[in-house]
């Protein structure tokens, strides 16, 4: 059996009674939290402890836990990323366990509870500058729901803040929440779809949307679409990688025997291929980096690691871009795009293992 939920409400101060009883992801704001839209949530009810990574199971055994609630939650972080970038804020978010901790809270009531929380198995997620979540160890966290302006129930800030890599299109991590004096733990696998505007990532988001009903047929449909969208992403990114490598190496740009009519100068070809990733997107409507800029940033950062000069690796790579040999650029493009393809495939593979391993 699988129990599922779908949250379509966008951002802003939210009344707690409108939220599903699972962990939420939100960006701190003046009015409480800007919540990331939840694409899909499923609760795995059959032997959940068997699906938790071994490191997480060891962490659970450090607390007097008798039972586990296990969720897989996918969030669309693109609206939150755009809002934070427009305000000039770092990409820091909070993991909010309040909806699960206070499921019976009545409208305009207030409550608080101490809980032990920790994060583990993080990919593309790191500690925040303040009030950071603890990784691989527990920290005491006071979760509180208050009434603002005598109307809105708001989730107060917690010590479970994370920082995302702004140039990762997808990230993931696991979390554990154990309320003090309670023997039930909430374990969640969080899938963060950071960029969903470009065609590649929009298709991956669509595969998670198919999971939202939470039925056996929806799970099977999700696994099918996840495989298709990941293979399509790998195909398109591989073509970009092959064409740009060929341009920097000075060889023919034709692929699969098809004529190539684009620019042949290496740097122009590189810019053109990145532009094609976002050809269906109005880039001026987005303040946060899109997939093409994420790839460009990673390539420049990779090149800047071995460059001399001031600033961080990206700044050094940007300053030395024209002087770096084309063969070195080709290797950097190959390395960065290969890692991106591997990340997408790994998340899809782990998702398939969790849902296929006796979920019902």
The mean pLDDT of 105-134, rounded to a whole number, is 88
The mean pLDDT of 169-179, rounded to a whole number, is 95
The mean pLDDT of 158-172, rounded to a whole number, is 91
Tell me which of 338 and 108 has the higher pLDDT. 338
Per-residue confidence (pLDDT) for residue 158, from 0 to 100: 76
Banded model confidence at residue 18, pLDDT cuts 50, 70, 90: low
| Dihedral sign computed on CA atoms, order 283, 286, 287, 288 | negative
Does the pTM exceed 0.85?
yes
Per-residue confidence (pLDDT) for residue 184, from 0 to 100: 93
Per-residue confidence (pLDDT) for residue 2, from 0 to 100: 37
What is the Cα–Cα distance from 239 to 329, expressed in whole angstroms? Answer: 16
pLDDT at 38 over 90: yes
Min mean pLDDT across 89-93, 149-153, 191-195 is at 149-153
Banded model confidence at residue 334, pLDDT cuts 50, 70, 90: very high
**pLDDT tens-place string over residues 217-226:** 999 999 999 9
Is the CB of residue 279 less than 8 Å from the CB of residue 240?
no
pLDDT at 93 over 90: yes
Beta strands in the chain (DSSP E): 2-7, 24-29, 32-35, 38-44, 67-76, 92-96, 111-123, 125-127, 139-148, 152-155, 161-164, 170-179, 184-193
Banded model confidence at residue 135, pLDDT cuts 50, 70, 90: very high
- pLDDT above 90: percentage of residues in the chain: 59
Per-residue confidence (pLDDT) for residue 189, from 0 to 100: 96
Per-residue confidence (pLDDT) for residue 19, from 0 to 100: 77
Mean pLDDT of the chain: 87
Is the CB of residue 84 less than 8 Å from the CB of residue 287?
no
């Amino acid at each position: 059996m699988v129990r599922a939920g779908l949250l379509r409400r966008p951002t802003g101060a939210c009344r707690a009674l409108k939220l599903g009883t699972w962990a939420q992801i939100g960006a701190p704001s003046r009015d409480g939290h800007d919540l990331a839209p939840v694409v899909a949530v499923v609760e795995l009810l059959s032997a959940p402890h068997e699906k938790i990574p071994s490191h997480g199971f060891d962490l659970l055994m450090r607390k007097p836990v008798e039972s586990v609630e296990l969720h897989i939650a996918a969030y669309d972080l693109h609206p939150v990323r755009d809002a934070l970038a427009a305000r000039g804020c770092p990409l820091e978010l909070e993991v909010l366990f309040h909806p699960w901790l206070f499921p019976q809270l009545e409208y305009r009531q207030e409550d608080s509870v101490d809980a032990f929380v920790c994060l583990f198995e993080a990919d593309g997620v790191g500690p925040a500058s303040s009030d950071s979540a603890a990784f691989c160890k527990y920290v005491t966290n006071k979760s509180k729901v208050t009434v603002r302006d005598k109307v809105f129930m708001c989730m107060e800030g917690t010590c479970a803040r994370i920082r995302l890599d702004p140039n990762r299109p997808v990230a993931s991590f696991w979390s554990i929440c154990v309320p003090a004096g309670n023997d039930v733990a909430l374990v969640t696998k969080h899938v963060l779809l950071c960029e969903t505007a470009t065609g590649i990532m929009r298709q991956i988001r669509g595969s998670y949307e198919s999971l939202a009903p939470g039925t056996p047929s929806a799970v099977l449909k999700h696994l099918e679409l996840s495989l298709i969208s990941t293979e399509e992403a790998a195909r398109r990114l591989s073509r970009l990688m092959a064409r740009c490598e060929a341009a920097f190496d000075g060889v023919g740009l034709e692929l699969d025997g098809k004529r190539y009519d684009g620019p042949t100068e290496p740097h122009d070809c590189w810019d053109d291929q990145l532009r094609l990733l976002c050809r269906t997107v109005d880039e001026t409507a987005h303040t946060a980096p899109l997939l093409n800029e994420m790839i460009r940033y990673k390539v420049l950062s990779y090149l800047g690691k071995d460059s001399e000069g001031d600033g961080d690796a990206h700044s050094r790579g940007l300053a030395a871009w024209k002087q770096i040999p084309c063969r070195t650029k080709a290797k950097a493009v190959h390395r960065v795009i290969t890692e991106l393809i591997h990340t997408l495939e790994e998340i899809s593979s782990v998702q398939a293992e969790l849902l296929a391993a006796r979920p019902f």
